[in-house]
Amino acid sequence: MTEPENVSLGNIPFLADLPEKALSDLAKRCSWRTFAPGEQVIDRQSDSCDLYFIVEGRSRVVNFSLSGREVTFDDREGGEYFGELAALDGEPRSANVVALENTVVACLSQEGFHDMLLTYPQVAVRILKNMAKIVRISTDRIMDLSTLGANNRVHAELLRLAGSNIQDDNTARISPIPIHGDIASRVSTTRETVARVFSDLTREGILQRDRDALIILDVEQLNDIVEQVRGEGD
């Protein structure tokens, strides 16, 4: 598939400062594909080493335990990318990727990816910074699994989802509203546990559900709950 109309690699933030000709040349080296919701974009068992730019849509990076339980690593939005590990080292994929909605991706071969990094070192630096961010988040989650009970892991995940949306008035808005099963998959617990924690936080005046968002009404209090338990484990 050739580059579709009305989409561009210029919408990928970490490529945005490349010259127009460079973006055009890069787009020509990509194969373009579309995926329907629920369709698999990357199979962990495949030997592909391509890098995938999400031009439109949203995808989920997941794995499955031996028992079949889904473990969610991350959701990637339009403008982001995935597949960089195999594209860098040529080793097998570390996870599966599934489209969450209608998704358009541009697939760049491993050779094309390496050429891009060598030609545009500023892109290589952004890739490295993003990988460092992923390692830090993964380290935090490993620590949470080792030191926090299921309820507090849900608390910690809410704080991660709040991210940069924390406001000066100590509130945070999480939109769209996360699905209980998705949070359960991220923190290795059950949907029932997530529902119970949400109910408890609502009753305590820490969490509020609006029509299209979850509102953390007291970010500091929620953070204190998690940090108190982490401190007990020191």
- pLDDT band of residue 163 (cuts 50, 70, 90) is confident
Clarify whether residues 135 and 119 are in a common domain. Answer: yes
Clarify whether residues 213 and 133 are in a common domain. Answer: no
**Each residue's pLDDT tens digit, 90-100:** 999 999 999 99
In a domain, 2, yes or no: no
Clarify whether residues 111 and 159 are in a common domain. Answer: no
Clarify whether residues 87 and 200 are in a common domain. Answer: no
**CATH number of the CATH domain containing 182:** 1.10.10.10
* 3-state DSSP assignment of residue 124: helix
Cα(84)–Cα(131) distance, integer angstroms: 9
Clarify whether residues 65 and 96 are in a common domain. Answer: yes
**Each residue's pLDDT tens digit, 52-67:** 999 999 999 998 877 7
163: left (phi over 0), alpha (psi -120 to 50) or beta: left
In a domain, 1, yes or no: no
Which of 83, 116, 141 marks a domain boundary? 141
Work out the average pLDDT over 181-210: 94
Clarify whether residues 105 and 20 are in a common domain. Answer: yes
Query: Can you give the pTM of this predicted structure?
Result: 0.79
- Helical (H) or strand (E) element with 58: strand 58-64
pLDDT over 70 (residue 4): no
pLDDT over 70 (residue 1): no
What local confidence, expressed as pLDDT, does residue 114 receive? 96
Q: What are phi and psi of 202, to 5 degrees?
A: -65, -45
* 3-state DSSP assignment of residue 226: helix
- Buried b vs exposed e over 157-189: b needs ≥16 C-beta within 10 Å? bbbebbeeebeeeeebebeeebebebbbbbbeb
**Each residue's pLDDT tens digit, 118-143:** 999 999 999 999 999 989 988 988 88
- pLDDT band of residue 232 (cuts 50, 70, 90) is low
- pLDDT band of residue 68 (cuts 50, 70, 90) is confident
**CATH number of the CATH domain containing 87:** 2.60.120.10
Mean pLDDT of the residues in the chain: 91
Which of 122, 141, 160 marks a domain boundary? 141
Closest CA to 183 of 173, 194, 175, 192: 194
Encoding tokens for residue 196?
């119970």
Give the total residue count for the chain: 234
What local confidence, expressed as pLDDT, does residue 66 receive? 74
Clarify whether residues 157 and 205 are in a common domain. Answer: yes
Work out the average pLDDT over 207-224: 94
What local confidence, expressed as pLDDT, does residue 70 receive? 80
Q: How many domains does one find in the chain?
A: 2
Show the domain range for 199: 148-232
Q: What are phi and psi of 94, to 5 degrees?
A: -100, -10
Closest CA to 39 of 60, 8, 64: 60
